Structure 1
């Protein structure tokens, strides 16, 4: 299949490009930053460029991963988020319809599901988050523009029948989070695999599966995160005493953590439930918290990528 991959120089793009080519697809990478997986340097906000790419490369499918992200809020004005995240998505959707593409994947984010109330974690129980969560009240321009782009995906599917799948990914980037600096990066990422993270390899694999399933699915929105070990009945206890809950599922976790000088989360305020993707798409992340503990027991490398100095290629 001739696939247009936007964001091809980015963290997900470089993994996804290799994975798609391994399956024999002809991938055209489009990104504002040059890279070994990027054949066209430019912005999705440039409609004339988007149309040329479709025409010149005979594009049959689109995986739209290009976006301004949360860390970009301090670097770019709000209008840039609208231009890239909203107008850029519309440009690609309309070009896909005009050129009779067979499917469209939109890489979205679980961030747009997190309101200020959820972020502040003032409740007495963790919030169980699945695709039914409503109303959606994004707390920043990143979330607002990604939600607007999702609505454009829904509209174009409804009007033109273009198969569109929206993949709301949890965290998979390697850098430290700018709002959680009390733990080391690997420790934090291991903790997040309990409830809000997936590996970049799993994120790439999910896109490959969704690409295959899109025509038969038609339209759908899917949270992507490592499968949580917890049940809905755990939400109150997770908020008040997460280590006790974790000990029920993983009796040796505390000892393994102590041997590394790590800390388990004292409290967990949200859980992403990715079971809808497993039921509908047949996709389940391979790597979760259990795999981290297994690596610790065996003295093997941890299955999480951490690079505190990582910077998006577009900032070079």
Structure 2
């Protein structure tokens, strides 16, 4: 297929574009930042740029992973988020369904962040009695910042275009996979590697797994018609663990992974005392046929192998 990938110069794009090309697809990268993976340097907020990309290259599928993200809140105005995340998505959709377009499927990179309200984010400090078990059915959705609000609006935009035009659409609500360090106050004292390993239990995935999820979504979109999925490693926990996770996460992790403390101790690492939410990707496994290859168990095994003299 001839595939347009927005955000081709970004963290996901650097893995996704080569992955798609290995499968024999003709990939056209669109990003405001130049790179060897980006054929078109420009913004999706510019309708003319999007129109030229879709028409001039005869695009058959769009992977929309370009956006302003949470870290950009510190450097961009709210209007920038609306321009890129909302208007930019609308521009892509309008061109995807325009007369003469050959676009047959649309995959949008969204975020689990839009599912986390201020109440959930506050966790135990906010008086929560248990960790939130997050599925695609979790409501109400009350995004806590302009990033989440605009991504939620973009999700509704692609849903609307599916309903109006029959465009096959898959939304992937990705858990954390960017390389930035965590911004949670209670883990600042930990190393970035320690924090990211802990997060594989409930809210982090590798960029390789995220790229693979997009490959699968592209293939399944015509069959699915429209759907949205949480993409995150399968957690070792169950909802029955949620009450204890909020007050004593190390005890819960110890039950599932008795070996973790010794492996962590050799590095001077610690586990979060409290885990405030768990993303459940069961629907992605059941309907999309996708499961992340790397989770906490795989990370522990990797760390253990590194310890062997």
Query: TM range, normalised to the smaller chain?
Result: over 0.9
- 1:164 and 2:205 matched: no
1:182–1:4 Cα change, 3 Å: same
Q: Deviations over 1:273-314 (max 9, x none)?
A: 01110000110000000011101211179xxxxxxxxxxxxx
Residue pair 2:58, 2:102 contacting (<8 A) in 1 also: no
**Which of 256, 260, 263 is the equivalent residue of 2:263?**
256
Deviation at 1:85, TM superposition (A): 0.1
| Equivalent position SS for 1:191 | helix
1:254–1:79 Cα change, 3 Å: same
Q: Tell me the distance in 2 between the aligned counterparts of 1:128 and 1:217.
A: 25
**Which of 288, 295, 303 is the equivalent residue of 2:302?**
295
Q: Deviations over 1:39-92 (max 9, x none)?
A: 000000000111111111000000000000011111111000000000000000
**Which of 237, 244, 247 is the equivalent residue of 2:244?**
237
Q: Tell me the distance in 1 between the aligned counterparts of 2:145 and 2:180.
A: 20
| Equivalent position SS for 2:63 | strand
Paired residues in the alignment total 301
Q: Which segments of 5 or more consecutive residues in structure 1 lack a partner in the other structure?
A: 302-316
Residue equivalent to 1:18? 18
Residue equivalent to 1:177? 182
Q: Tell me the distance in 2 between the aligned counterparts of 1:258 and 1:159.
A: 56
Q: How does 1:275-290 map to 2 (within 5 A)?
A: 275-290=282-297
Q: How does 1:85-100 map to 2 (within 5 A)?
A: 85-98=85-98, 99-100=101-102
- 1:113 and 2:118 matched: no
**Which of 114, 138, 141 is the equivalent residue of 1:136?**
141
Q: How does 1:177-196 map to 2 (within 5 A)?
A: 177-180=182-185, 181-196=188-203
Deviation at 1:179, TM superposition (A): 3.4
Q: How does 1:206-245 map to 2 (within 5 A)?
A: 206-245=213-252
Q: Which segments of 5 or more consecutive residues in structure 2 lack a partner in the other structure?
A: none
Q: Deviations over 1:229-254 (max 9, x none)?
A: 00011000111111111111101101
- 1:34 and 2:34 matched: yes
| Equivalent position SS for 1:299 | helix
- 1:64 and 2:64 matched: yes
Q: Deviations over 1:187-239 (max 9, x none)?
A: 00000000001000000000000000000000001001111000011000111
Q: Tell me the distance in 2 between the aligned counterparts of 1:69 and 1:258.
A: 34
Q: Tell me the distance in 2 between the aligned counterparts of 1:168 and 1:19.
A: 20
Q: TM-score, normalised by structure 2?
A: 0.96
Q: Tell me the distance in 2 between the aligned counterparts of 1:191 and 1:125.
A: 18
Q: TM-score, normalised by structure 1?
A: 0.94
**Which of 174, 187, 210 is the equivalent residue of 1:203?**
210
| Equivalent position SS for 2:97 | helix
1:257–1:300 Cα change, 3 Å: closer
Q: Tell me the distance in 2 between the aligned counterparts of 1:66 and 1:168.
A: 14
Q: Tell me the distance in 2 between the aligned counterparts of 1:296 and 1:95.
A: 47
Structure 1 segments, 4+ long, off by >4 Å, are none
Q: How does 1:67-78 map to 2 (within 5 A)?
A: 67-78=67-78
Q: Tell me the distance in 2 between the aligned counterparts of 1:187 and 1:227.
A: 19
